[in-house]
Amino acid sequence: MLLSKKYLHDKLILLLASINIFLAFLCIILVLVRLGAGQGGYIVQYRSNLGVNAFKTGSVSVMFSFIGFAAVTMCANLILSMRAYLLRRELAVAILSLGALLLTLAIIVSNALLALR
């Protein structure tokens, strides 16, 4: 109980956790909105070394993996930072900061793949 009280009273930790939660929900909402407008045949990979066949298509289930990735990343970052807070506060801050970067990159990649369709 002592951990959660200290953890939840740290303003920087709460800010970073809120940013992670916001970015995860933003990624989920953006993917769902972009998927709702389409029919199928989504571009899921780009391989620059293949030349003309550089774009690989896939189904909707592949695009749903971005939603799962955002949710798992958010939960894993929060749990890891809570456990790391016992060891060092700076480690928990680093975990949450890198999680925000990872979720931002997930938003960028999913948006780029859904824009190509």
For 31-53, the pLDDT digits (tens) are: 988 887 666 677 777 777 776 67
User: Which parts of the chain sit beneath pLDDT 70?
Assistant: 1-3, 37-40, 51-52, 117
Domain definitions of the chain by residue range: 7-115
Alpha carbon of 43 to those of 53, 87, 112: distances in Å? 12, 43, 10
Average pLDDT, the chain: 86
42-46/55-58 β-pairing: antiparallel
Percent of the chain with pLDDT over 90: 49
Cα dihedral: 67, 72, 75, 81 (round 10): -130
